[in-house]
């Protein structure tokens, strides 16, 4: 009896075809998401700051949600979570100075200065008070913004906050980021954003990020904060999340199973589901 088996090249071809189909679907979805957000420019400290905005779907008198991107990135990869939350809240996703489509300051801003820039953008946009949601390095920026400008922030969500104290080095961060998996389109977005900000700004900002000690200021933050971690996140360790929640007077945590670091892109529905009840407690501006 002859046993028929698929040739390795045929199996590879099938896998590649499936992968390409999935990538095309993700890219198509991303283009659709871009269409439901308008572009808005605001001048802040002589720099024009770009943001993606959707205020049409949410009810009136609801707390706006401002999304804060990670290191070297822009608002583009935040569109999946932005679309999830736009049904209940006005959503704003700025490109911080030096990143995405926003203008570049002559000097690379450190974490504290990025926190100040975020606050200045909130004020320039005319938002009296907001909820903040950040991913990765964006959480460090949010922590500084909360500590330095608490009057602007009703609550905050930190998704995958960086950086665990035991791994604040180029070596460990390289190792951990290699262990984190994202769909190929996310990698393409990241490469485009890294090229936009430039290698020097990217490296310098990374250096600022691993020198930053958010644990030194967490205790002074009285704002309600939800810390969200993917159970399989190789970058944001559970011990670090526990330390953050312990130090925050109003800190709570939620763990989403079987997901990694970039939940704003890879698991927006699950992330939105845990964020909604937290945001609902601070949803009214009246």
Name the residue ranges covered by the structural domains of the chain.
33-280
- Which CA distances in Å does 144 have to 112, 202, 206, 215? 6, 19, 16, 11
- Fold adopted by 33-280: Rossmann fold (3.40.50)
pTM score of the predicted model: 0.88
In terms of C-beta density within 10 A (0-12 exposed, 13-18 middle, 19 or more buried), how is residue 123 classed? middle
Q: How much is the pLDDT for 61?
A: 83
CA distances from 162 to 1, 166, 175 (A): 59, 11, 14
pLDDT at residue number 12: 60
Q: How far is the first Cα of the chain from the last one, in angstroms, to the nearest whole number? A: 78
Per the listing, tokens 């020097």 go with 200
Report, as an integer, the average pLDDT of 45-66. 92
Dump pLDDT digits (tens) for 245-272. Answer: 999 999 999 999 999 999 999 999 999 9
- Residue 16: pLDDT band with limits 50, 70, 90: low
């Amino acid at each position: 009896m002859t046993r028929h088996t698929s040739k390795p090249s045929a199996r590879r071809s099938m896998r590649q075809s499936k992968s390409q189909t999935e990538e095309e679907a993700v890219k198509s979805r991303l283009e659709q998401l871009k269409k439901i957000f308008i572009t808005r420019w605001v001048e802040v400290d002589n720099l024009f700051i770009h943001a993606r905005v959707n205020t049409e779907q949410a009810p009136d008198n609801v707390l706006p949600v401002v999304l804060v991107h990670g290191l070297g990135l822009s608002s583009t990869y935040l569109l999946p979570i932005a679309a999830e939350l736009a049904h209940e809240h006005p959503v704003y996703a700025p490109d911080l100075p030096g990143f995405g489509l926003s203008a570049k300051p002559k000097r690379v801003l450190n974490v504290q200065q990025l926190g100040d820039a975020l606050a200045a953008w909130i004020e320039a946009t005319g938002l009296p008070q907001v909820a903040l949601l950040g991913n990765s390095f964006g959480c460090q920026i949010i922590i500084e913004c909360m500590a330095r400008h608490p009057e602007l922030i009703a609550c905050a969500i930190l998704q995958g906050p960086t950086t665990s104290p035991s791994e604040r080095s180029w070596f460990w961060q390289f190792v951990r980021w290699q262990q984190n998996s994202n769909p190929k389109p996310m990698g393409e977005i990241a490469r485009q954003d890294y090229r936009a900000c430039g290698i020097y700004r990217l490296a310098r900002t990374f250096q600022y990020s691993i020198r930053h000690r958010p644990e030194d200021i967490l205790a002074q933050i009285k704002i309600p904060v939800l810390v969200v971690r993917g159970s399989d996140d190789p970058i944001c360790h559970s011990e670090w999340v526990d330390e953050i929640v312990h130090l925050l007077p109003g800190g709570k945590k939620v763990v989403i199973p079987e997901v990694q670091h970039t939940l704003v892109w890879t698991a927006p529905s699950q992330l939105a589901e845990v964020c909604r009840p937290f945001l609902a407690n601070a949803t009214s501006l009246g």
